[in-house]
Amino acid sequence: MKFSAIALFLSMFTFATAQVSHADWDALLQKHVTTSGKVNYDGFKQDAASLNAYLGKLSKNHPNSNWTRNQRLAYWINAYNAYTVKLIVDNYPVSSITKLHNGKPWEVKWIKIGSKTYSLNNIEHDIIRPTFEEPRIHFAVNCAAKSCPPLLNHAWTAKNLESNLERQSRTFINNTRYNQISDRGAKLSKIFEWYAADFGNLAAFVNKYASTKVKAGNISYLEYDWALNSK
């Protein structure tokens, strides 16, 4: 009886601390997303069963207090991106995510994780942003639009989180498709305007990564292209 009680305790502890594997999502991303972030939604549609199986794992294995900060943040980034892909796949072909749900697809609650149902906005604005206070997540979560920072073609994990956040930030800021920085001034992504509060001193944040430095008083913002980020 004593041994059985110990075994039961250990099994319960293992369940409570178990981490969901993102390997299946990683395989799908490598298969259907280019290194530049172009998404093959036709391919994802053909692999819908695998995508849904991964989302099922996310639903049943959500973060708890035993997870580390990086484990939890990686989980929520993957969840946001994977459910966004599913939203497009379920409605594909579609020219833009803004064509769905009367232009407000982020507000619809349809994502079942554990006993709760979330919207994409819930995940980003009620969980990721206030919990982690990490401005670089804006270069990690992907809204399926051409002007959105490219979807990383690998799953996020606790191990690669920091290096990928740094790489994604530097790559996005220095890509002239998203930001145009010169000695004459800077035309930045609308993301920096929409989430200005997250970045604090914007010029200082951008200059941490930019090859050409930004002057604080000479910043404007580019129009956002909501066309689908497909091939």
pLDDT at residue number 4: 53
pLDDT at residue number 18: 65
The secondary structure of residue 218, as a DSSP letter, is S
Question: Per residue in 24-43, pLDDT tens?
Answer: 999 999 999 999 999 999 99
The CA radius of gyration of the chain, in Å to the nearest whole number, is: 19
Question: Residue 225 and residue 178: Cα distance in Å, rounded?
Answer: 10
Question: Residue 34 and residue 22: Cα distance in Å, rounded?
Answer: 18
* For range 178-187, the mean pLDDT: 95
Q: Is the dihedral of CA 123, 134, 70, 64 positive or negative?
A: negative
Question: Per residue in 123-161, pLDDT tens?
Answer: 999 999 999 999 999 999 999 999 999 999 999 999 999
Residue of 113, 11, 13, 108 lying closest to 62 (CA atoms)? 113
**Is residue 19 very low, low, confident or very high in pLDDT (cuts 50, 70, 90)?**
confident
Q: Between the CA of residue 141 and those of 10, 89, 90, 135, what are the distances in Å?
A: 35, 17, 19, 11
pLDDT at residue number 164: 98
Q: Is the pLDDT of residue 12 over 50?
A: no
**Is residue 211 very low, low, confident or very high in pLDDT (cuts 50, 70, 90)?**
very high
In sequence order, the 6+-apart residues with CB closer than 8 A to the CB of 83 are: 55, 111, 120, 123
* For range 167-196, the mean pLDDT: 97
pLDDT at residue number 14: 38
In sequence order, the 6+-apart residues with CB closer than 8 A to the CB of 71 are: 19, 63, 158
What are residue 111's DSSP bridge partners? 118
